[in-house]
Amino acid sequence: MKVFDVVIVGARCAGSPLAARLARRGLDVCLLDKAQFPSETPSTHIIQPRGAQALERIGALDAVLSAGAATINSFTMVNDDVRIEGEFDESTFPLPGLCVRRVTLDAVLVDTAANAGADVRTGVKATGLITVGERVAGVETDHGPIRARLVVGADGRHSQVAKDVGAKEYSITPMGRVPVWGYFEGVADREGRLRLARLGENAYLASPTDDGLYMVCVAAGTDSGAHREEAFAAALEGWPELADTLSGGRRIGPLRVMAKWHGYLRQAAGPGWVLIGDAGHFKDFTPGQGIADALCQVELLDQTLPADFGNASNLDAANQRWWRWRDRDAYAMHWFASDLGAPGAPTPVITEVLRDISGDPEARRTLMRVLNHEVAPRELLAPRRLAVAVGRAVRTRPREIRTTGREVAVAIRNEVRRARMTRTVPPGLHAP
């Protein structure tokens, strides 16, 4: 029976780019997915500028743009009564961000992998793993076994590969808001602007996307998924600026919802296997970094894997190094995203932090770089800025002093708890 160098389970925004990269290195790659493409999957499908750069490096950017992806050159952020405007200027961001539905993006990526020389098998479902002793040595499918020196799980939050290897979760965050999103046709505003807001109990994300459509996502309380139509309509009325943008447009198709999710990091490597993308790490969707994170994880894994897949010890050691990099890269943003997506109305301290940022051009640029997962959140949330924000919240919102006090206390408790969780990752998971 043929033995591939790599079999990748999952052909979306992590699996297909990895297959393309490894195939171009001359490796024998099999890429499989239970779906037939084009195929939808739950996603708010914003791609940060660094993700656009990763698409360019695998030769997929032109095809994604030709397929109609909307370019994002600017953004508006509204939080309570604070408004921040920013531009993705070329001096800081060589490429703009993108907004493209997964039904469009993933099909382009699958074609990219096939054109690079990967053996692409869609409509093939992984049903289990082949093991030799304690080592994973391939994948069982509904079309027969596929043997490989390395099995990559790129099969999303409900990863079958992660389940079969028993990959443990850690740094778990609870479900925050429930995203409900839909598409509108006939919206006159095709400006490449990403709109973000947090008003009352609702959070918003809106942007032009491919096929001439306009995407609107509303993230409300955890019970909104059960009453999505009512919650969505009420939320649109709660942001008049967005309602005006949609005037003259018509919603098409059903509303989509992503329910029953939680954030986590998973054990990402073991003998003969590795997890990438959402299979290994999922965080709150609020900063919209998931696709770009997957594309950049692929690049680091490709750079870390050895040239010779025949030496199992070297292969496993490389996967362990990549896993440690993944955690270092993900950890701060994992918690930052959880804080951004927490349910409830805008809090006094964070509102005052954003007010400070709105009047500081350099801080606005740093905010954009944080959202691009390019610099750590601590570069923006320095102790001095937080102290100033607390003082201003106390002075200008005396009636909310108890709320401010609780916000500060919760932030301190979270820092202590998260530091403790960093030191208490399940034993035996990390290589020494």
At 25-36, the pLDDT tens digits run 999 999 999 999
Which of 242, 257, 272 is a domain's end point? 257
pLDDT of residue 429: 53
Residues 73-101: tens digit of each pLDDT: 999 999 999 999 988 888 889 999 999 99
Range of the domain at 106: 3-45+101-174+262-337
Which of 257, 278, 311 is a domain's end point? 257
Phi and psi at residue 11, to the nearest 5°: -115, 25
Which CATH number covers residue 221?
Answer: 3.30.9.100
Res. 420: pLDDT tops 60: no
pLDDT of residue 412: 59
pLDDT of residue 407: 60
> How many domains in the chain?
3
Residue 428 or residue 233, greater confidence: 233
pLDDT of residue 227: 74
Tally the C-alpha atoms within 13 A of residue 192's C-alpha that lie toward its C-beta: 18
Using CA of residue 365, residue 368, residue 372, residue 377, what is the dihedral sign?
positive
- Does one domain contain both 130 and 209? no
- Does one domain contain both 195 and 168? no
- Does one domain contain both 238 and 133? no
Query: For residue 427, what pLDDT band results from cuts at 50, 70 and 90?
Result: very low
- Does one domain contain both 106 and 201? no
pLDDT of residue 386: 82
- Does one domain contain both 164 and 187? no
Give mean pLDDT, residues 140-159. Answer: 97
Q: Which tokens hold the place of 406?
A: 């609780």
Q: Is residue 319 part of a domain?
A: yes
pLDDT of residue 389: 78
- Does one domain contain both 121 and 17? yes
Residues 151-183: tens digit of each pLDDT: 999 999 999 999 999 999 999 999 888 899 999
Res. 398: pLDDT tops 80: no
Q: How far is CA 393 from CA 176, 197, 327, 386, 408, in A?
A: 25, 20, 34, 10, 11
pTM of the entire predicted model = 0.92
Which of 337, 355, 380 is a domain's end point? 337
Residues 112-139: tens digit of each pLDDT: 999 999 999 999 999 999 999 999 999 9
pLDDT of residue 431: 43
- Does one domain contain both 166 and 190? no
- Does one domain contain both 309 and 222? no
Contacts of 91 (CB under 8 A, 6+ apart): none
Angle between helices 15-24 and 290-304 (to 10 degrees): 30
Q: Is residue 149 part of a domain?
A: yes
Residues 345-365: tens digit of each pLDDT: 888 888 888 999 999 999 999
- Does one domain contain both 225 and 288? no
Give mean pLDDT, residues 307-322. Answer: 95
End-to-end CA gap in the chain: 36
- Does one domain contain both 122 and 197? no
- Does one domain contain both 8 and 141? yes
Res. 414: pLDDT tops 80: no
What is the rounded distance in angstroms from the CA atom of residue 269 to the CA atom of residue 318?
9
The mean pLDDT of the chain is 90
Q: Is residue 16 part of a domain?
A: yes
Give mean pLDDT, residues 273-302. Answer: 96
Q: Is residue 90 part of a domain?
A: no
Residues 185-243: tens digit of each pLDDT: 999 988 899 999 999 889 999 999 999 999 999 987 655 545 778 889 989 999 999 99
What is the rounded distance in angstroms from the CA atom of residue 305 to the CA atom of residue 309?
8
- Does one domain contain both 114 and 31? yes
